[in-house]
Amino acid sequence: MGRWIKYGSYYPIWILRLFKKDKCTVEREVNEHFNVSGKVGYLKNDFVDNNMKGFNEWLLKHNRYSTYEAEQLILYDKRKAEGKKDNYADLSGSQPQKKRWIRENIWNSKLPPLIRPFIYFFYRYFLRLGFLDGKEGFIYHFLHGLWFPFMIDVKYLELKRKIERDQKS
């Protein structure tokens, strides 16, 4: 909506985007995690993603992403049942490793589905001061911090119910 979102988000966030493709493997298809063999560096200036596709395209993309993320939660449940841990997750590691640790040890395992999106929205919009970005900030944090995670949880519960139903059959 043409406004820089200053509050409530993760700024600055270090997202690996420039690398030699023969030195890297991709671990996830959405919210990509790249494993690079060798040194990485950081840009000195901001990298701006000025997406001009509009709200409808955003909705379509996040509908696809939420399906993928719900499937990842099912895989997490399976790994957890098998006693497997995410070796990449590390609270004292890089920014992506910290995020993975929080996802593995708090978000996926301690917070109940359908409640965690409200907690996350409250954290971003109120505690991280997202409300200071006006109506654009509200729209951004509502969609990213509440609606999208809520859609993931609904799809996750739907998949989980289908798996349980199939196992009984």
The pLDDT averaged over each successive group of 10 residues in the chain (169 residues) is: 83 75 75 76 80 90 95 92 85 83 89 96 96 94 96 97 93
Task: Check residue 47 and give its pLDDT.
Answer: 78
The answer to whether the CB of 33 falls within 8 A of the CB of 96 is: yes
User: Is 32 a member of any domain?
Assistant: yes
Number of domains in the chain: 1
User: Is 62 a member of any domain?
Assistant: yes
98 by Cβ neighbours in 10 Å (0-12 / 13-18 / 19+) ranks as middle
Task: Check residue 157 and give its pLDDT.
Answer: 97
β-bridge partners, 26: 34
The one-letter code for the residue type at 114 is L
The domain containing residue 157 runs over which residues?
21-40+52-168
User: Is 6 a member of any domain?
Assistant: no
- Report the distance separating Cα 23 and Cα 126, nearest Å: 41
User: Is 13 a member of any domain?
Assistant: no
- Report the distance separating Cα 44 and Cα 9, nearest Å: 20
User: Is 4 a member of any domain?
Assistant: no
Task: Check residue 29 and give its pLDDT.
Answer: 65
- DSSP string across 106-145: IITTTSPTTTHHHHHHHIIIIIT-GGGGHHHHHHHHHIII
User: Is 77 a member of any domain?
Assistant: yes
- Report the distance separating Cα 27 and Cα 35, nearest Å: 7
Task: Check residue 90 and give its pLDDT.
Answer: 87
